[in-house]
Structure 1
Amino acid sequence: MTVDGAATRTTVVVRYFAAARAAAGVAEETVPGGRNLDELVGDLTRRHGEQLGRVLSLASFLVDGVACHDRQAPLPAGTTVDVLPPFAGG
């Protein structure tokens, strides 16, 4: 097993879109796994500041492409979490 393979098993990829990307200052980052979505949101807010925290409080989340409705469910390592802020327009 490679070191890269081990890292994939213990981390979560977070991808930011629109206002979330602007507030985080990055399009994507890798963070430690082993948490639920509420814990992840708290960590991301501490890492990037209250501006991102405000966006996250209104955002929807996809976990491996599926809408996440249980914010207490553990996020499996190797998961991708997409942060989707409210979108305007139409």
Structure 2
Amino acid sequence: MATVTVRYFAGARAAAGRSEETVSAGRTLDALLTELAERHGERLVGVLAVASFLVDGVTCHDRDKPLPAGVTIDVLPPFAGG
């Protein structure tokens, strides 16, 4: 099965209850986010609404493009700091 890796950082990790998971490839980022929200619940929904997403380290601007197998998706919630 072709897969992608999803890595959660900071508040996203807390909301998902894990730091990383593997999911099937071939869907768009928006479709993947819908699946992750359904799988992990309302806490993650709130984080995903304000998060940024990197695909293999590059900001994802086309959320309707299918994700190829083997990529890593980083879920980055807004970070606080000064």
TM-score, with normalisation over the residues of structure 1? 0.88
**What secondary structure, in the 3-state scheme, does the structure 2 residue paired with 1:14 have?**
strand
Name stretches of at least 5 consecutive residues in structure 1 with no aligned partner.
Answer: 1-6
Q: Output the CA distance in 2 between the equivalents of 1:47 and 1:31.
A: 11
RMSD: 0.7
Pairing of 1:24-63 with structure 2 (within 5 A):
24-63=16-55
Residues 1:23 and 2:8 aligned together: no
What is the identity percentage for the equivalent residue pairs of Structure 1 and Structure 2? 70
Q: Output the CA distance in 2 between the equivalents of 1:32 and 1:57.
A: 22
What is residue 85 of structure 1 aligned with on the other side? 77
Q: Output the CA distance in 2 between the equivalents of 1:64 and 1:38.
A: 16
Name stretches of at least 5 consecutive residues in structure 2 with no aligned partner.
Answer: none
The alpha-carbon deviation at position 81 of structure 1 amounts to: 0.1
**What secondary structure, in the 3-state scheme, does the structure 2 residue paired with 1:72 have?**
coil
Pairing of 1:63-82 with structure 2 (within 5 A):
63-82=55-74
Q: Output the CA distance in 2 between the equivalents of 1:45 and 1:18.
A: 17
- List, as ranges, runs of 4+ consecutive aligned residues in structure 1 with deviation greater than 3 Å: none
TM-score, with normalisation over the residues of structure 2? 0.97
What is residue 3 of structure 1 aligned with on the other side? none
Greater Rg by CA: 1
One-letter amino acid of the structure 2 residue matched with residue 67 of structure 1? T
